[in-house]
Chains A and B, each alone.
Chain A
Amino acid sequence: MVATALTDLWHGFGVALQPSNLLWCFVGVLVGNLVGVLPGLGVMATISILLPLTFGMAPVPALLMLAGIYYGAQYGGAICSILLNLPCHPPHAVTCLDGFPLTQQGKGGTALGITMIAAIVGASFGIIEMIFFAPALVHVAQQFGPADICALMLLGLIAGATLAKGSALKGAAMTVLGLLLGLAGTDIETGSTRFTFGQIQLRDGIEIVALALGLFGIAEFIKSVNRIAPIDLSRAKVRLADMRPSKADLRRAAFPIIRGTLIGSLCALIPGTGPAIASFVSYATEKKISRTPERFGHGAIEGVACPEASTHSAVQGDFIPTMSLGIPGDAVMALLLGALVIQGITPGPRLINEHPDLFWGLIASFWIGNILLVILNVPLIGLWINLLRVPYRVLYPSALFFICIGVYSTNTSLFEVGETLVIGLVGYLLLRLGFHPAPILLGFVLGPRFEEYLRRALIISKGDFLVFVERPISLLFLTLCGLLIAAQIYMALRPRRSSIPSPTIS
């Protein structure tokens, strides 16, 4: 098993090192690194703007590039948090707590150096986890029938809805809304159109690019305009020599890095808990087990090392359920799955065997991309910091144009630009009411497939719902669903303690 994995990986390196694939991987991590630094332009918006441009590409380079944006942005996000105290990316928000005090003490360079080490350790572990775990998961998943897959999707949806940020009820409502949006358009099975309101353009359903750019582009811009303050760059000067951590720092960071990596890789396997949760959990854990918890928040190097390692390991591990089962863990993965579907690739347990180039090429590109990022980051930090001088008033109108033309180019249709505008305005309303839009995308991507498998399961069982509890695998997933919901209800009804480890940034 190890031998086959290594041969496959060798094959993957052959794919990823092809000049064109390597080039697109490089473009992806570079763009990702850039948007990771820029506040106000998120990973979701960037991937969806670039998504239409990948339609003309082969599936492998397209996926390598889009994935590169995601993990590349994690490197940029850390720079922002440590040097500028700007939590531009949720997973790195917690890094601000100790990263910025270190910068104030003139040790920002050390913090960045430790971050790089934590990143490469975390990412490597996440990739190794994927190499061995994904094929094993596929092996198990091959025995799944439609009812089991249906129950698994339900588990993914409930986990995504309840474990993500904010209120679980609101998350669930957004998931249902996403499922409904996913059902709009022509029903494949019966051919009748649903929720099109007589619009011919809606017969093919809502365009995923329009949905993603409405929610994560236009709605975000409306929320952030006139709110992003000019950034004080006076402290953000780092020389290359400063980035070499001392032996004492390294010793202090070593175990937190390992603990963070393990927490991150665990979080990656639980659907719905992405890198953001992983980094918070690992920071809280590290603070709890530390012998000197009072140092945290005042520039403890462990407080940087642990969450960063867990973020990077969770980011790579995020791809495991997505690539092996076709169940995305969060909105970014949902978007990447959408990109695969557009490329004509059916996500699911058969993907690894049917498209070994894609899967193993992706894994190999993770190694290459992460190494590129570490090499790139060292000389480029100065450049990225200078890019922060680009004010938001220049950034958002330009990005708005890219959104318009990006959506238009998907199907050369201005109607879809209008769709994006409507979705953006509704998305802003939802944001105002305290809803998080990420579960919408999750539901949207899984909606049609959920209906398809539900239908199949019920045809096989001749309309008997008991099929879901009679099959052991599906029963297991449904039990987990029940436990998740019960845990949420318990948390809601329990008298609230004020000492919940919830790191907030003042």
Chain B
Amino acid sequence: MSMVLKRRDLYAGLLMVFVGIGTVLQARVYEIGTLTHMGPGFLPQILGVILVLLGVCIGFAAPHEAVAETGLAIPGETTREAFDLRGGLAIASGVFAFIVLGAYAGLVPATFACVFIAALGDRSGTWKGALLLAAVVTVAGCVLFVYVFKIFFPLFRW
């Protein structure tokens, strides 16, 4: 197992420990109740503790090779490539633009911005291609969802 993978598993374990601790802290607010009458905090607290334990195990198993893998390597499932900043940023901003413009400007600008921004994330694409794609999806999508599926979403809001 390479150095990178060891560190990856260490981070993975740490993340689970943090999420588990956070869960337990948050769940302490809710009543635990008794065993006969479980309160809302009962199961979350138990699950939080289990998550912490699992996180510790993942972190500790990291330096050893014997992480229990099922031995079924499935191609295309590796995630060891570097993060594609441009693509990831474009996709996230596209959805964000949809939310903001959807709330203040309506479906047409929201759709156009969402598709256009997301399409800019592809390194093989061009500005013109992205504009064209955004225009096509906006027209087709708005007609489909507003007129065919009758979803309530004003095309424009002022």
Residues of B within 8 A of A276 (CB): 72, 74
Contact B12 A190 (CB under 8 A): no
Asked if A298 CB lies within 8 Å of chain B CBs, one says no
Alpha-carbon distance between A440 and B78 when the two chains are bound, in angstroms:
19
Mask, A401-413, CB within 8 Å of B = 1, is: 1111100110010
Contact A408 B129 (CB under 8 A): no
Contact A434 B43 (CB under 8 A): no
Q: Which residues of B12-49 are within 8 A (CB) of A?
A: 12, 15-16, 19, 23, 26-27, 30-31, 34-41, 43-44, 47-48
- Most chain B CB within a 10 A radius of its CB, from A168, A173, A222, A502: A173
Contact A412 B153 (CB under 8 A): yes
Given A169-B61, A397-B119: A417 and B98 interface contact (C-beta under 8 Å): yes
Contact B99 A393 (CB under 8 A): no
Given A176-B47, A393-B119: A459 and B114 interface contact (C-beta under 8 Å): no
Residues of A within 8 A of B9 (CB): 433-434
Residues of A within 8 A of B151 (CB): 405, 408-409, 412
Given A225-B84, A414-B103: A397 and B115 interface contact (C-beta under 8 Å): yes
Q: Which residues of A443-499 are within 8 A (CB) of B?
A: 450-451, 454-455, 458-459, 462-465, 488-489, 491-496
Alpha-carbon distance between A500 and B69 when the two chains are bound, in angstroms:
11
Given A454-B38, A463-B35: A179 and B88 interface contact (C-beta under 8 Å): no
Residues of B within 8 A of A489 (CB): 68
Residues of A within 8 A of B38 (CB): 189, 451, 454-455, 458
Residues of A within 8 A of B137 (CB): 397-398, 401
Alpha-carbon distance between A405 and B50 when the two chains are bound, in angstroms:
37
Q: How many inter-chain contacts with C-beta < 8 Å in the A-B complex?
A: 242
Given A166-B69, A192-B31, A414-B99: A93 and B92 interface contact (C-beta under 8 Å): no
Asked if B155 CB lies within 8 Å of chain A CBs, one says no
Residues of B within 8 A of A382 (CB): none
Given A173-B51, A400-B115, A404-B114: A393 and B125 interface contact (C-beta under 8 Å): yes
Residues of A within 8 A of B87 (CB): 222, 225-226
Asked if A167 CB lies within 8 Å of chain B CBs, one says yes
Known: A172-B54, A223-B79, A401-B137. 5 other contacts (CB 8 A): A163-B70, A218-B91, A400-B115, A465-B35, A488-B68
- 5 cross-chain pairs, A with B, having the tightest CB-CB distances, nearest first: A225-B87, A463-B35, A463-B36, A393-B122, A492-B68
Interface residues of B (CB under 8 A from A): 5, 8-9, 11-12, 15-16, 19, 23, 26-27, 30-31, 34-41, 43-44, 47-48, 50-51, 54-55, 57-58, 61, 65-77, 79, 81, 83-84, 86-88, 90-92, 94-96, 98-99, 102-103, 110-111, 114-116, 118-119, 121-125, 129-130, 133-134, 137, 141, 145, 149, 151-153
Q: List 27 A-B contacts (CB under 8 A).
A: A165-B77, A167-B61, A167-B67, A173-B51, A192-B40, A221-B91, A225-B84, A225-B90, A225-B91, A227-B84, A276-B72, A393-B122, A393-B125, A396-B118, A397-B118, A398-B137, A404-B95, A404-B98, A405-B145, A405-B153, A417-B95, A420-B95, A433-B11, A433-B12, A451-B43, A463-B35, A502-B73
